[in-house]
Amino acid sequence: MKDRLKRRSLYLIGMMGAGKTTVGQILAQRLEYRFFDTDHLIEQLTGETIANIFATEGEEVFRDLETQVLGQLSAYLSCVVATGGGIVLRRKNWGFLHQGVVIHLDLPVEQLYTRLLADTNRPLLQGVNPLEKLQELYAQRQRLYAQADLQIAVDSTDTPEAVADRIFEKLPEILRPPVSPPSVQE
């Protein structure tokens, strides 16, 4: 698989809680690629938590930082990049994502909700009805996530390793087949 990729980076997209960070780390380890997470890089760059950036500066400032960080990462080869759930919202980001292979992790909203119940780090889910908010975000973003090169359906019974296995199984479908030498007629 590593040979077939020819050092192209992998970009994981999908809703918050879909497992981009968890699965991305496994993929990077297996490919001996570097791993980056845009949310973590933004926190490192600003010295603020994402929740704080949303609260004090607002979502637009966060989105600008996200585009800046993604633009810088897109210059590198051999990376696995776990992106924030909203990376798909800006057209400009797609130019950066398509520098590599874009993989959508697709988990049903009810299962995302169960995973994120105990998590207070997602500012967009801090309102009165987080399940409804997740459903609304998914409905808005579904057609954007559909633009990934590879769709990976995930279920609550899948371990992160099983999700990584599925990605490796499906990746050859979208990578160019190895060029075989022309057959020579004697």
Ligand X SMILES: Nc1ncnc2c1ncn2[C@@H]1O[C@H](COP(=O)(O)OP(=O)(O)OP(=O)(O)O)[C@@H](O)[C@H]1O
How many Cα atoms within 13 Å fall on the side-chain side of residue 73? 32
Greatest alpha-carbon pair distance for the chain in Å reads 75
> Which does residue 50 bind out of Mg ion, ligand SKM, ligand X, none, counting CB within 5 to 8 angstroms by kind?
ligand SKM
Q: Which of 20, 33, 42, 79 binds ligand X (CB under 6 A)?
A: 20
Residue 17 binds ligand SKM, judged by CB under 6 A: no
Helix (H, G, I), strand (E, B) or coil at 153: strand
Residue 40 binds ligand X, judged by CB under 6 A: no
Shortest distance (Å) from residue 115 CB to Mg ion: 12
Q: Which of 19, 24, 86, 100 binds ligand SKM (CB under 6 A)?
A: 86
DSSP string, 85-129: TTGGG-HHHHHHHTTSEEEEEE--HHHHHHHHTT----GGG-SS-
d(CA 83, CA 101): 13
Shortest distance (Å) from residue 170 CB to ligand X: 16
Q: Which residues bind ligand SKM (CB under 6 A)?
A: 16, 39, 50, 84-86, 122-124
The residue ranges that bind ligand X (CB under 6 A) are 14, 16-22, 39, 82, 84-85, 115, 122, 158-160, 163
